[in-house]
Amino acid sequence: QTLASITFQNYFRLYPKLAGMTGTAMTEAAEFAEIYSLEVVDMPTNMPMIRLDEDDEIYRTQTEKHNAILEQVAECHERGQPVLVGTVSIEKSEELSALLTKRKMKHEVLNARHHEREAHIIADAGMPGAITIATNMAGRGTDIQLGGNLEMRLWRELEGVTDEAEIERRTAEITADIEEKRGIVKQSGGLYVLGTERHESRRIDNQLRGRSGRQGDPGASKFFLSLDDDLMRIFGSERMDGMLKKLGLEEGEAIVHSWINKALEKAQQKVEARNFDIRKQLLRFDDVMNDQRKVIYEQRKDLMRAEEVADTIVDMRHEVIEDMVAQCIPSDAMSEQWDLDGLHEECLRLLSLDLPVADWAKEEGIADEEILERLIDLSDRRMAEKAANYGPEVMRLAEKSLLLQILDHSWKEHLLQLDHLRQGIGLRAYAQRDPLNEYKREAFEMFEEMLRRVRNSVTEILSHVELTFDESEQEMFQREQRSMQESREDPAFAMADEPLAATGTDGVATPVQSRTAAAVIDPNDPSTWGKVPRNAPCPCGSGKKYKHCHGRAS
């Protein structure tokens, strides 16, 4: 069962200030503005970006696309250009890996199943002729350095070397080697990013492209698509396939045009807009719950901070009595129409009071206000008597603990009911009603009902509760109360405040116990001594004062 829930949007809104930095926020600028009231600013790059983003190549079938990808990878590998192949899932990455293995092309696979080698794979992904197959996880926060990663190579190759001269010599060699390989990679065109499929979101594609051409380095990117891809199927690839067959598109031949890139971007924009609408609709429904969440959590914080909640309990009890009287004795009803039996039963159930309500109604000139005042007065008296019997501290503690427990349980049940309401509220659209407005109205009514149940439960339980203490709890409570009382360290005051030691028949002083001691005091068992005054002789028989003997340890 749900104990608490919140959307990411409302969670982020809890922060007083929001800000962020990412390289792919421009495509989501409208959502940032509408949801978070944040403006997206495009910052210029540190170095001019010279990456070449080539037009997409579209093939009819997956097989044709895979063959074209393998040819492109082999071409890059021959000229010493590192390749990063981006796939949309682990399955697709392993499928492509199997095809490369068949062609006996050495490569690395970076996905969630090889996460322990992630740092090593990324460090070598910029080496001349390197082939790396990765899922979308490679597009986030991955810095592929051309020629290799200097820090990783130093860590791997200098591990265990302790001679300073040897470390310095080999560091210089590794640095020179990386610079040489960096030059080779730059001459071959830099890192080549090869996408095997378009994602629903342009942001994910831009993240993958952004692995290449960093800090002014050369690079290139291209996406290879087929009509069998998920994004293409959404937008009628079957009709396009038939049209291409009629136009005589041969096997292995690709369609390449900038217009197709624009059409694909528009298709991605439609998917993004649809996903945004889904998130926005979810947020609108969660805003309803969020308003209630704020009220409950703020009230709970106030209860936690308060030392006692007696005033809140009294207000709740008075509201319960007012609702009870208003229901059984409507203000505009005749006395013959009063539900006196119902009022009597409610008094027994909620207030634990057996009152002569029927006799009150027979009195001359009696009205609902007089009955309300009597019920409030009698219930307050009863609760005051109960507090006096158990002790104010115990009663205040019970009230606070009970109120928090009932509030938490009621809120948990309320969340479950809201989940059920949310699941079926869409059907209201068939009755020409706005599901969101219907949800707002019913959720508000359910919230009011929840608060009423909390008041009733707190009043009913506190009216009927009977607190019992076992002996150990009673002693512990009394001990805590004594520990909070003032203690004086000055012996003169201690002697004045504490009873003097009494003299026994043998002339030896024995402590006067202010706490009940055992019938027989055992010198070896301190639990039988009771409370011993600080300046009295220690019952253990050492001859020292209690405060210098066992009293020091206690």
Say how many domains are in the chain: 2
User: Contact 509/536 with Cβ under 8 angstroms?
Assistant: yes
Name the token pair of 30.
Answer: 């409208």
User: What phi and psi, each to the nearest 5 degrees, are found at residue 217?
Assistant: -70, 155
Instruction: Show which of 256, 274, 295 is a domain's final residue.
Output: 256
Residues 152 and 79 in one domain: yes
Q: Do 237 and 313 sit in the same domain of this protein?
A: no
pLDDT of 248: 64
Chosen domain end from 449, 467, 485: 467
- Examine the fold and report which residue of 467, 490, 519 is the final residue of a domain before the chain moves on: 467
The pLDDT score that the predictor gives to residue 447 is: 95
| CB contact set of 271 (below 8 Å; sequence gap of 6+) | 200, 201, 231, 234
* Encoded tokens for 348: 């027994």
Please tell me the distance from the alpha carbon of residue 58 to that of residue 197, in angstroms, as a whole number.
Answer: 10
Q: What is the DSSP letter of 418?
A: H
Model pLDDT, residue 4: 82
pLDDT of 489: 44
Does 268 reside within a domain? no
Handedness of CA 408, 411, 415, 421 (dihedral sign): positive
What residues pair up with 191 in beta bridges, in sequence order? 219
Q: Are residues 354 and 222 in the same domain?
A: no
* Radius of gyration, alpha carbons of the chain: 40
pLDDT tens for residues 100-123?
999 999 998 887 776 667 888 888
Whether residue 508 is predicted with pLDDT greater than 50 in this model: the reply is: no
Percent of the chain at pLDDT above 90? Answer: 32
Q: Are residues 207 and 86 in the same domain?
A: yes
pLDDT at 473 over 60: no
Please tell me whether residues 90 and 198 are part of one structural domain. Answer: yes
Average the pLDDT over 296-325 and give the result: 91
Helix (H) or strand (E) holding 71: helix 62-78
- Enumerate the β-bridge partners of residue 52: 220
What's the CATH code of the domain at 424? 1.10.3060.10
Statement to judge: residues 198 and 83 lie in one domain: yes
Instruction: Tell me the pLDDT band of 231, cut-offs 50, 70 and 90.
Output: confident
The residue to which tokens 């359910």 are assigned: 446
**Is there a single domain that holds both residue 323 and residue 178?**
no
Both tokens of 179, joined, read 């610079």
| C-alpha dist (Å) from residue 413 to 354, 420, 459, 491 | 32, 11, 19, 60
Residue 491 scores a pLDDT above 50: no
Q: What pLDDT is attached to residue 507?
A: 41
- Quick check: 503 pLDDT over 50? no
CB 62 within 8 A of CB 230: no
Which of 395-409, 497-511, 527-541 is predicted most confidently? 395-409
Structural domain that includes position 65: 52-256
Mean pLDDT value across the chain: 83
Spatial distance between the Cα atoms of 53 and 205, rounded to a whole number of angstroms:
12
Single-letter amino acid, residue 412: K
46 burial via Cβ count (<10 Å: 0-12, 13-18, 19+)? exposed
Same domain, 354 and 426: yes
pLDDT recorded at residue 298: 92
Residue 450: what pLDDT? 94
Q: How far apart are CA 131 and CA 192, in angstroms?
A: 10
In a domain, 454, yes or no: yes
**514 in a domain, yes or no?**
no
CA distance 533 to 515: 11
Q: Token digits for 365?
A: 């000139």
Cβ–Cβ contacts within 10 Å for residue 492, how many?
A: 8
Q: 197 and 328: one domain?
A: no
Residue 25 contacts residue 32 (beta carbons within 8 Å): yes
Give domain status of residue 317, yes or no.
Answer: yes
| Residue 2 CA to its chain's centroid (Å) | 12
Pair (83, 210) in one structural domain? yes
538: Cβ contacts below 8 Å, ≥ 6 apart: 532, 544, 545, 546, 548, 549, 550, 551
The reported pTM is 0.61
3-class SS shares of the chain: helix, strand, coil, % to 5 = 60, 5, 35
Answer yes or no: do 346 and 247 share one domain. Answer: no
Convert the pLDDT of each residue in 411-458 to its tens digit: 999 999 998 998 889 898 899 999 999 999 999 999 999 999 999 999
Give Cα separations from 355 to 324, 340, 344, 349, 358 (angstroms): 14, 11, 7, 12, 9
Judge whether 86 and 193 are in contact, CB under 8 Å: yes
Mean pLDDT throughout 386-414?
90
The pLDDT value given to residue 465: 84
List 298's β-bridge partners, or say none. none
Q: Which of 6-20, 73-87, 511-525, 535-549 has the lowest mean pLDDT?
A: 511-525
Exposed (0-12), middle (13-18) or buried (19+): which is 505, by Cβ within 10 Å? exposed
Instruction: Please report which confidence band the pLDDT of residue 23 belongs to, taking 50, 70 and 90 as the band edges.
Output: confident
pLDDT of residue 488: 43
329-374 per-position pLDDT tens digit:
887 777 778 888 888 898 998 888 888 888 888 887 788 888 889 8
Residues 281, 276: Cα–Cα separation, whole Å: 8
Q: Are residues 395 and 316 in the same domain?
A: yes
CA distance 498 to 175: 84
Parallel, antiparallel or unpaired: strands 108-110 and 502-503: unpaired
Q: How far apart are the first and last CA of the chain?
A: 48
Query: Pick the residue with more confidence: 236 or 209?
Result: 209
How confident is the model at residue 214, as a pLDDT?
87
Residue-level pLDDT at 308: 87
Q: Closest Cα to residue 209, out of 232, 191, 228?
A: 191
Which residue in 323, 381, 373, 390 sits closest to 352, CA to CA?
381
Q: How far apart are CA 552 and CA 36, in angstroms?
A: 63
Q: Where are the alpha helices (DSSP H) in 350-470?
A: 357-361, 368-390, 392-424, 435-464
Residue 550, in any domain of the structure = no
Contact 378, 355 (CB under 8 A): yes
| pLDDT greater than 80 at residue 96 | yes
User: Looking at residue 117, which CATH number applies to its domain?
Assistant: 3.40.50.300
From residue 224, alpha-carbon distances to 73, 251, 272 in Å are: 12, 15, 21
> Does some domain include residue 263?
no
**Residue 51 confidence (pLDDT) above 50:** yes
Q: Residue 27: which of 230, 270, 201, 259 has the closest Cα?
A: 201
In-domain check, residue 493: no
**Which amino acid would we find at residue 307?**
E
Express each pLDDT in 174-212 by its tens digit: 999 999 999 999 999 999 999 998 888 888 888 888 889
Q: Is the pLDDT of residue 478 over 70?
A: no
- For the CA atoms of 125, 130, 134, 139, the dihedral, rounded to the nearest 10 degrees, stands at 40
**pLDDT the model gives residue 391:** 86
296 part of a folded domain: no
Secondary element (H or E) of residue 245: helix 237-246
User: How many Å apart are CA 532 and CA 547, to the nearest integer?
Assistant: 9
